Structure 1
Amino acid sequence: MNKNRSVVPQMRGVSAFLSAPVEAAASINTVSISKIRLPSHQPRRYFDPEKLQQLTDSIKQHGVLEPLLVRPLQQGEYELVAGERRYRAAKAGGLETVPITVRELSDQEAVQLALVENLQREDLNPIEETEGVLELLTLTVGCSREEISEALTQMATAQKKGIDPSGNVSRQVEAIANILESTINLTPESFRTSRLPLLNLPSEILDSIRQGKLEYTKARAISRVKDEHQRQHLLQTAIEQSLSLTQIKQQIKELTVVSKPELPTMSDRLVLISRQLKGLTDPKKQKRLEKLLQDLESLVET
């Protein structure tokens, strides 16, 4: 899918760095890879082993062509801000030194820049992408994840009822919309209905999406299977056999039919009632039953 990611969110400090001309950027140095530390917060959690190996092979042959972006720490060490794939591939390839670009960044600017850099990657999976956007929103809009979700829900409810949301909600959603448009090209409502629910999926399904084994549209369909054993079996089958979304839905339909208890037929019910009537002695009930039988006979004859 071709996503429009050419524009980044306008964030103080970060946007200035991203738009800076090459000649204004910090000089490129080469340092020992042992002096680079990974930050405690990383937007990206899964790296495809095959793609990482391809990058490692390329780096062994050509070196690290694009410098890692870092910020200085104490005692001549650096914290990685952007370029973790290159960092991991360089370590795996046995490189002792790597090129770096050093920038003075605050904690918030470093996190924002790392998030933007990752969100502009085409191979970021939907879970990492959604979590990254939420983290970016909490920093730029100044709201918690819960407040962001609540603002989107309030906006959707207001639009459905044809009323104006509160001024605070409108401002929050406008800021959210700007970030979403400039990162993953989604509207606030699309993000609310198609992305936020992903984070509530069962853990085994979340892991499959993170590892690139399953598209999130298929994952959402499989998550609707309530029985845990059936859901895990369908998940494994969908991955191993590369089932299409249509095939997955068909299997879910078959599971629903099998698990649905068979209801007794009308004839079975009448036979059961006739057996129970043998012990009926109450005159009032017998009179009422006679009237019901007359109605039933009339209905059948008609």
Structure 2
Amino acid sequence: MSRRRSGLGRGLDALLSASEGGERLVRIPLALIEVGSVQPRSRFDEAALEELAASIREKGLLQPVLVRPKGDGYELVAGERRFRAAQRAGLSEVPAIVRELDDRSALELALVENLQREDLSPVEEARGYARLSEMGLSHEEIARRVGKSRSAVTNALRLLQLPEEALVALEEGRITAGHARALLMLPEERRLWGLREILEKGLSVRQAEKLKDRLRAAPRRPEPHPELARALEE
């Protein structure tokens, strides 16, 4: 059994070992596998998919996907990238580990498998950690599952404190993770201003990090005289 799991990653292997229910390795027709709601990835690198598909055409799919029974077929739990590449490669069936899993276990496995990859965007990574946190896992537990340090998990989650416009810009590659961290140095109410400064002026990360100093140096608007303030209120 350990040989079957060797390519799945230590965090995923631990989850599989802890999950209840039987497990078997079989070949399943692609037509019987449904990409379900537990899949956390929203975007795939087309060039990387084509490259993987070419490798599968030449050597076959060496690492099985993970599925759970659903109706008359199966629901994909882990390995969506391999599954899509196998479709492109023209395979009719794939090796699969079949595992009885409840919804929570399936989602946790899907998240951990994806978070162990190196090609996730910073926002996808942060949202994956957030979903695991919502399931009751501590930052320490998440770090252990995905093979990262606790500080890496905590810092990634901080990105979700940014306004949605900044997260979209990060996803689209208009700003980098370094720019995003620089925005987090600003007061919450000034982060959209900081984003506009970065985008409109093409600031480097180093320049973006100095935006907080510009805010400190900016003269504060003088408070109105108390009597004038009362007159304005009247």
Q: Normalising by the residue count of structure 1, what TM-score does the alignment of the two structures yield?
A: 0.55
Q: 1:135 to 1:249 in 2, by over 3 A?
A: closer
Q: Do the aligned partners of 1:14 and 1:109 also contact (CA within 8 Å) in 2?
A: no
Describe the superposition over 1:150-185 as per-residue Cα deviations: whole angstroms up to 9, x where unpaired: xxxxxxxxxxxxxxxxxxxxxxxxx54233244253
Distance change (3 Å), C-alpha of 1:79 and 1:203: same
- Asked whether the equivalents of residues 12 and 145 of structure 2 are also in contact (C-alpha less than 8 Å), the reply is yes
Match of 1:178 in 2: 141
Q: 1:58 maps to which residue?
A: 55
Question: Within 5 A, what are the aligned runs for 1:29-178?
Answer: 29-31=27-29, 33-75=30-72, 77-141=73-137, 175-178=138-141
Unaligned runs of 5+ in 2: 1-7, 222-234
Q: How does 1:265-276 map to 2 (within 5 A)?
A: none
User: Which letter maps to 2:86?
Assistant: A
| Distance apart, 1:106 and its partner CA | 1.6
What is the letter of the counterpart of residue 11 of structure 2? V
Question: Shift of the alpha carbon at 1:214?
Answer: 4.3
Partner SS state of residue 77, structure 2: strand
Distance change in 2, residues 1:137/1:226 (3 Å):
closer
Counterpart of 1:217?
178
Larger-Rg structure: 1
Separation in structure 2 between the aligned mates of residue 218 and residue 227 of structure 1, nearest angstrom: 11
Partner of 2:229: none
- How far did 1:70 drift? 0.7
SS at match of 1:45: coil
Give 1:53 deviation, angstroms.
Answer: 2.5
Output the amino acid matched with 1:45: S
Number of aligned positions between the proteins: 208
- Matched AA of 1:177: E
Match of 2:18 in 1: 16
What is the aligned partner in structure 2 of residue 27 from structure 1?
25
The CA distance in 2 between the partners of 1:60 and 1:9, in whole Å, is 26
Distance verdict in 2 for CA 1:125–1:48, change over 3 Å: same
Instruction: Select the structure that is richer in strand.
Output: 2
Q: Supply the AA of the counterpart residue of 1:221.
A: A
Deviation at residue 37 of structure 1 after TM alignment = 1.0
- In the TM superposition, 1:205-284 aligns within 5 A as 205-211=166-172, 214-222=175-183, 224=186, 226=190, 231-232=195-196, 234-235=198-199, 238=202, 244-249=204-209, 252=211, 256=214
Distance in 2 between residues matched to 1:222 and 1:70, nearest whole Å: 40
* TM-score, normalised relative to structure 2: 0.69
What does the per-residue CA deviation read over 1:2-57, in whole Å, with 9 as the maximum and x for residues that have no partner?
Answer: xxx9642897x63436xxxxxx95122131x2221112132222222322222233
User: In the alignment, which residue of structure 2 is the partner of 1:200?
Assistant: 161
Cα displacement (A) at 1:102: 1.4
Where structure 1 has 5 or more consecutive residues not aligned to the other structure, the ranges are 18-23, 142-174, 264-302
RMSD: 3.7
Q: How far did 1:198 drift?
A: 0.8
Q: How has the CA–CA distance of structure 1 residues 191 and 49 changed in structure 2, closer, same or farther, with 3 Å as cutoff?
A: same
Distance verdict in 2 for CA 1:118–1:191, change over 3 Å:
closer
- Secondary structure of the residue aligned to 1:60 is helix
Could you say if the C-alpha distance between residues 216 and 184 of structure 1 is closer, same or farther in structure 2, counting changes exceeding 3 Å? Answer: farther
- Identity within the alignment, %: 37
Distance change (3 Å), C-alpha of 1:231 and 1:74: same
Stretches of 4+ aligned residues off by more than 4 angstroms: 211-214, 222-225, 227-230
SS in 2 for 1:26: strand
